[in-house]
Structure 1
């Protein structure tokens, strides 16, 4: 194979549709735009326009606050971890970390870490090394004979700031 012989697979690329090139093309005359009116013309931006009336999205007050440095954790229930153990995807002897959960297919990508939640039942003794855990998850892990280590910067229910309404 030579560089000048490299091609895309058959059917991998399609030629773009040339609109407005006659009735025989199938996209002639109105060029797929329907007929008449502002939306048939070019340069239309009327998504939130209400005929001059103050649009709804501008009438309503702005609410809330999005923290600029918020952490994005994978939230994993204990039941999901037990299913992975039963399927033989997680090693019970090794420490359960973000990397091992990604390798087992429990979470798709590492993000900012893993937070264990208490939904489901854990019957296997495991050692966890994660960013955080709910109180019920920590109790369930202790009941099963395992232990949990919080990584630096992790969040537990006890250390999380109280939500105010």
Structure 2
């Protein structure tokens, strides 16, 4: 059985910063391309760097395992495993979820998710028998942690 991936983005300020830097690399490549009328090695290398950063930016997702939730971050070495029994509360907002667990250094973490991905993750978590945390729906949940 293929495991389903539930894609997410970091809280709003970090998402804006990371995607702005990624698209700045694309614009640099396009500017370098305009300098020459034929393919130019430097602009192609910068364009390749853009694609690497874009793929890394899309590499953020949740994956459910038998023991818990595996959270994949921008860098593959930062992968985090949360056991189901360590998740205390999941607060579901209109555009994001907030997971409260002692495994996070700040006690909780915010994830921006599209509605379809968010609902699919909550439904899959509710089907898990070892998941004992509370799921709270809060329409007032903001996109940023510090709002």
Instruction: Answer 1 or 2: which has greater helix percent.
Output: 2
In terms of fraction of residues, the more strand-rich structure is 2
Same topology, TM > 0.5: no
Relative contact order, higher structure (CA 8 A, sep 6+): 2
Give the TM-score category using the shorter length.
under 0.3
Q: TM-score, normalised by structure 1?
A: 0.24
